[in-house]
């Protein structure tokens, strides 16, 4: 699958996620996806601390992925749909890289949504007319702030070179998604 970040054709090119135009947003996502895809794990043994960091990345990414898949199907806003499609592509690519990493390292990462993840997904699903705001605030803003914190911790603490590189590669895109989400929330009534 990989992180192609081509973004589905269903998001219109005249969308304006946050303050970026659609082609610029898609280009940023695509370039980040190629950088993640190019990372190559080795087969060195992971420390217990690095295993925990990899699991933390996987768990946070799964929450972002599942709620963004819901947003792609549920939003009526082309801008929110473009943001959600970008997030789906980002998280699918990161998940593929983590699967490759886990296989090389001989570890298993959970593919199950955590209880917190299930709670957030339900809250967003049940938000009715406030769906876009709930998605953007809980996933676009709070979710990216949490994953930024996780990736910063990974960048600073990981002993494994690929985990560190994955965090360093993902952080700029996380910042873009966070900024775009904050800007988009500000446009909602």
Residue-wise pLDDT tens digits, 43-71: 899 999 999 999 999 999 999 999 999 99
Within-domain flag for 89: yes
Asked whether residue 135 is domain-assigned, the answer is: yes
Is the Cβ–Cβ distance between 3 and 37 less than 8 Å?
A: yes
Average pLDDT over residues 16-24: 86
pLDDT given for residue 18 in this prediction: 82
Q: What angle do CA 115, 51, 92 make, to 5 degrees?
A: 60
Structural domain count, the chain: 1
pLDDT at 12 over 90: no
Q: Is residue 154 a part of any domain in this protein?
A: yes
> In terms of pTM, does the model score above 0.95?
no
Question: Residue 7 pLDDT > 50, yes or no?
Answer: no
Range of the domain at 120: 47-187
2 occurs within a structural domain: no
In sequence order, what are the residues at sequence separation of 6 or more whose Cβ sits closer than 8 angstroms to the Cβ of residue 122?
A: none
pLDDT for res 164? 96
pLDDT at 10 over 70: no
């Amino acid at each position: 699958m990989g992180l192609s970040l081509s973004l589905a054709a269903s998001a219109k090119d005249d969308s304006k996620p946050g303050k970026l135009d659609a082609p610029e947003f898609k280009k940023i996502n695509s370039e980040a996806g190629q950088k993640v895809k190019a990372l190559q794990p080795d087969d060195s043994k992971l420390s217990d601390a690095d295993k925990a960091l990899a699991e933390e990345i996987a768990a946070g990414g799964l929450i972002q992925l599942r709620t963004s898949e819901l947003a792609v199907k549920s939003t009526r806003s082309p801008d929110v749909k473009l943001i959600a499609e970008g997030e789906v592509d980002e998280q699918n690519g990161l998940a593929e890289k983590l699967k490759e990493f886990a296989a090389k390292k001989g570890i298993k990462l959970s593919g199950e949504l955590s209880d917190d993840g299930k709670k957030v997904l339900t809250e967003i699903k049940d938000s009715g007319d406030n769906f876009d705001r709930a998605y953007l605030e809980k996933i676009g803003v709070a979710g990216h702030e949490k994953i930024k914190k996780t990736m910063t911790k990974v960048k600073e603490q990981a002993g494994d070179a690929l985990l560190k590189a994955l965090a360093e590669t993902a952080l700029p895109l996380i910042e873009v998604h966070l900024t775009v989400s904050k800007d988009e929330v500000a446009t909602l009534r």
